[in-house]
Structure 1
Amino acid sequence: MYCLQSITLCSLVLFCMSSLSPASASAVHHQNAPSAHTVNGTYTGLTLNTFNQEAFYGIPFATPPLGDLRLRYPVPFNQSWTGTRNATVRSDSCPGFDKPFAQGFADGLTMGEDCLTLDIVRPANVQPGDNLPVFFWIYGGGFKAGGSADPRYNTSFMVRNSMQMRKPIIAVVPNYRTSAFGLLASREVAAAGVGNIALFDQRQAMKWVSENIHAFGGDPSKVTIAGESAGGSSAGYQLVAFEGKNDGLFRSAILESSSLLGASMNTVETLNVTYQGWYDNITTTVGCNTAADSLACLRTVPYQKLFSAVNGFQFKPYIDGKFISQPPSVSIAKGQIADVALIMGSNTDEGTAEFFTPRGTLNNDSDISSLVAHLGGGLNASVVANILRLYPDDPIRGCPFGTGPERFADQGFQYKRGAAITGDVNIHAGRRAYAVNHSQRSKHPIYTYRFNQAPWNMQEVDVTTTAPVFVTHFTEIVHVFDNPDKNVNWIGPYPIISELAAFVSRSWVSFIHDQNPNNHGLEGKPVWPKYNTSDPQNIVFRAGASWVEKDDWRQEQLAYWSTLWSEIMT
């Protein structure tokens, strides 16, 4: 059953199939199961009859990070065998913490430390030598939680689109360590040289793909890395990693609702006043604070005890001098960034996400001043005054945009003012700044977008469900994956929105396959132009009425943030 005629009707059928388990109506294991001969040995996967696809789940790309390998960089998977190994069951997701700290990105996931695996979905009957382009998805979740098993990232619908377009792709989704297991930071971590483990996990998964994806029918020279939120930031950090040396691991990237610019980053020197206290709390809680080597001690703590101790501490990537040698703004200015084709975009109302803008506390000028003054490493009074001038207390100009004089005052009398500021500094300003830079220096195209379709029911579970929501963070994800399943972020029952999802997803597939998002095969859609500083344009995705716009909204405001990257520590 292909469900080609009606996506909304299909969703009622596909809801019955579990995205978390291969033992579902869509997955069949039999004597003629697909196989692939990797460097290590042969894997046997599953046939997904519903989609006419094949899947390989839980393939290790690194040695399990257990025992003394905990809190260390990933070690390449070096086992070999004769015969075959089953790749029919997903591994545990890497440890991450759940609500109220992580907006639920660990919901429904079975977690454990033996998690450094990846999942592959491909069209049926693909053979080595077919050389299909590869979609390499890095999940988000604030670097706090996430996993390849999250049903929102079911790649079968996107791969099915690629098959219908006659532009077949292979999808790969790796797990990587989040929370303190992947991003622990302190002077002890810095001294041991094991910072940013999560980013090294992602890199190791890319290396595995480079060495092995040919066995699955993929082309290692045609990999597109992609992600949203923390996943998009991860893709951005991969661009500047090792001063822009990507060793041919990917030819293009897609950064959704994220940026190389805007997210404040610690340095080794600032760890003492940021993450050190968290590290000390953790080591004290588990009894490692008196050990001669507290980091070595943490490797001996029982998993559940350590998991409980780190729960709630939100570590993020920092400038470790190894993977990331300098602020991304400096890397961009120096041109020390991987030169690849790009899609980069944002959602109109990013600032309404609950983790960007505080609710119920922004009621007057003093509250807004405090919010702005604490951005990055701290902004001085003159800068704060300029920002307040650029973002006056005028609800008509506030976020969610286009909602007129409504203040949503129950969330704070000046909430919309604050949401406009946080959305711009965290996402929008960096997107435009890098689009301009890339289009001026690169030989490869960059395509930018503004996603402008609110969820059908004004609910974006795990991001914000309290009004105002509108076109908030994460809203585009269900469209990119064209996923009609009734999971917590459902496309909804309206055909016009399902049509938008098909357009967005097919545009992504076209870019992955051709480095051009316009070969989607749909009629009556606007042509998405390459970004050009002489006439900068975005495509705007909206149900029933997508269009191309001049990228000049909030020109003065976004330009001002670009003068502050060093102060914001990005």
Structure 2
Amino acid sequence: MMRQVFLGSFVLSAALTANAAPTNTGSSCLPVVDLGYELHQALSYNSTNQLYTFQNIRYAQPPVGDLRFRAPAQPKTNRTAIQTGSELRFCPQGVPVWQGDAFEPIGEYSNPANPFSLQAWETSIQDGQPLPVDWNKGASEDCLFLDVHVTKKTLQKAGEKACGDEGSPVLVWIHGGGFVLGSKTGTPTPGYDPVGLFQHAAANSDDGLVFVALNYRLGAVGFMSGPDVEKDGNLNAGLLDQKFALQWIQDNIHLFGGSKEKVTVMGESAGGGSVLFHLTAENGKGVGLFSRAIAQSPATIPTMQVAADSYSQFLSYLNVSSLEEARAADSQAVIAANAAQIGAAPTTTYIFGPVVDGKYITGSPTKMIKEGQFDKSVKVLAGHNMFEGAFFFDPNITTDAEFKTWTNRSFAGLTSKDVDTLVTSLYPPHFDGSLGYVDQDTRQMKLWSEAVIDCNYYWIGHAVQKTGYAYEFGVSPGFHIQDLQYTFNDPSTPAPWPKAQDALQEAIITFVQGGVPEFSNHKAFPHLGSHSTIVNITAQGPVQATSKVNATRCDFWANIYQ
């Protein structure tokens, strides 16, 4: 992100085979799946939704020691004990201070009880305080695990494929977080509960659903770049982790009742960007491991470069002088160095991210999609939020000269000519609102959102305009990541606008199950077509609208990669 195919068989516990009533208590009632290399038992059963959770299934070896900064490797066989996955598993994190300061304001203004104004928002970001969270408490480099959620009915049908059952559709979740933070469950913050998606799946079809969420390496351990890594390691290890997990799904999901022919990959932000990377992988051939894709707020850096000193900077934080020494370093020291380096990232940057490796990633996905270099057999549903750039600005930028400096440092690899074009022609200092901004703060927001997210959404939408679908999350204020609460429905923090949540979840599930997003009245999404027709998901439900993403600016961003 190859791997061999594991031959395994489905094993039901005696209690389940005898139609016992499993609960969350008592492991003897919970089914066991034989993966060949290990036996894995469901950790819990939700009797209300008849939903099993198989947690922390290992899909690769621990990427430590000599495997650090390398592509993932096949898990070793361990059949001495049945695995339950009860331990905490998430990858080492790094949270830039500037982003940490934004989480509290995002939560405040995502609540409709708190009236939103641009002035209040800008002030709240400037005065923001980080959440009282230890982002690496419980983190481990041994984090290449995935979760499988599956209904009792689907699981019981796993052994019936020979009788004509093709298996249930599979929805794979790739989390976001700037390629430096996050996890398959959202840990250590409230996360991605798929119960609402399963409820809509059951209401829409008898086909069922299998939901898979995966971890992948982040920050320095997942996206270290530079000549040394290129020579004695693998660039884009985090993306290779994702690819490895997708191959695991192809090899093993039938054991849970899922169909490898009906896999939908869904991701948000960096996860949505990852979807585009896999669509355009290997010179545009695509990874070939899924048939449908949902790209939510797909985020990629258009220059496909990271800061030139990111590698030497990491070695300095780790207090070593070579890649070999970094591989030999203590894991806790690596976790601490990664967190410290990313924590100090300049505002609106994350330091690490995917780069062109000449093998799996051969170019900017934005440009490749524009030029038709992607797997066209994959059906696509693309989405973005109406105010993606909301917290992507530096409140200390007050002059045109400072804006120019900010633009240059926000996107490694820009030429002086590129910067001049951006600040004088495409995003000039005209603050009457006609260009989409009214001050230096919103000028940054607009440039960043279009460069990193909106234009990816624009180009993938237009590339599949006759066969694909697009929507805008239009619930005010429409911040980046605000839609996650509506995509999922963590019971502890229900979405404030139920009609918007139902509409988004219905669209996702009907697309996963049938390839066409629909709503409860069976009205299907329109294709984007030549008129840029989209669906706007508002607080009161879905309405047909027209995309207003700036085509001229998006043409520039699609061609910025040299």
TM-score w.r.t. length of structure 2? 0.80
Q: CA RMSD in A?
A: 2.6
Equivalent AA in structure 2 for residue 39 of structure 1: G
Deviations 1:419-477 (A, max 9, x none): 2232222222232123212336xxxx2111111103xxxxxxxxxxxxxxx21100111
Partner of 2:30: 33
Within a 5 Å distance, the mapping from 1:194-213 to structure 2 comes to 194-213=234-253
Partner of 2:280: 240
- Answer yes or no: is 1:558 the counterpart of 2:558: no
Equivalent AA in structure 2 for residue 64 of structure 1: P
Closer, same or farther: CA 416–564 of 1 in aligned 2, 3 Å: closer
Deviations 1:7-41 (A, max 9, x none): xxxxxxxxxxxxxxxxxx98334322122232324
Match of 1:446 among 468, 475, 498: 468
Partner of 1:122: 150
Does the Cα contact within 8 Å between 1:254 and 1:342 map onto a contact in 2? yes
Match of 1:161 among 196, 200, 203: 200
Equivalent AA in structure 2 for residue 509 of structure 1: I
Closer, same or farther: CA 367–57 of 1 in aligned 2, 3 Å: same
Question: How much has 1:115 moved relative to structure 2?
Answer: 0.9
Partner of 1:12: none
Counterparts of 1:564 and 1:235, CA distance in 2: 19
Partner of 1:152: 191
Deviations 1:237-288 (A, max 9, x none): 111111233453100111111156x53312xxxx7xx24x232233244443
Report how many aligned residue pairs link the two structures.
Answer: 483
Match of 1:288 among 313, 320, 324: 320
Partner of 1:357: 393
Q: Which runs of 5+ in 1 are unaligned?
A: 1-24, 400-406, 408-412, 455-469
- Answer yes or no: is 1:476 the counterpart of 2:483: yes
Partner of 2:354: 317
Counterparts of 1:476 and 1:70, CA distance in 2: 34
Partner of 2:216: 176
Partner of 2:256: 216
Counterparts of 2:219 and 2:134, CA distance in 1: 11
Q: Which runs of 5+ in 2 are unaligned?
A: 1-21, 101-130, 343-350
Within a 5 Å distance, the mapping from 1:115-514 to structure 2 comes to 115-126=143-154, 127-128=157-158, 129=161, 130=165, 131-150=167-186, 151-166=190-205, 167-246=207-286, 248-259=288-299, 263-266=302-305, 274-275=307-308, 277-289=309-321, 294-311=322-339, 312-313=341-342, 314-339=351-376, 340-353=378-391, 356-361=392-397, 363-372=398-407, 376=411, 377-378=414-415, 379-389=418-428, 392-395=430-433, 398=436, 413-439=439-465, 445-454=467-476, 470-486=477-493, 490-492=494-496, 497-514=497-514
Closer, same or farther: CA 164–30 of 1 in aligned 2, 3 Å: farther
Counterparts of 1:39 and 1:364, CA distance in 2: 62
Counterparts of 2:99 and 2:421, CA distance in 1: 35
Identity of aligned residues (%): 24
Counterparts of 2:451 and 2:39, CA distance in 1: 48
Question: How much has 1:332 moved relative to structure 2?
Answer: 2.7
Closer, same or farther: CA 372–191 of 1 in aligned 2, 3 Å: same
The DSSP-based 3-state class of the residue aligned with 2:212 is strand
Counterparts of 1:426 and 1:284, CA distance in 2: 29
Closer, same or farther: CA 48–263 of 1 in aligned 2, 3 Å: farther
Closer, same or farther: CA 373–385 of 1 in aligned 2, 3 Å: farther
- Answer yes or no: is 1:539 the counterpart of 2:535: yes
Closer, same or farther: CA 318–156 of 1 in aligned 2, 3 Å: same
Equivalent AA in structure 1 for residue 257 of structure 2: G
Closer, same or farther: CA 419–284 of 1 in aligned 2, 3 Å: closer
Partner of 1:410: none
Closer, same or farther: CA 220–49 of 1 in aligned 2, 3 Å: same
TM-score w.r.t. length of structure 1? 0.78
Counterparts of 1:106 and 1:98, CA distance in 2: 10
Question: How much has 1:500 moved relative to structure 2?
Answer: 1.6
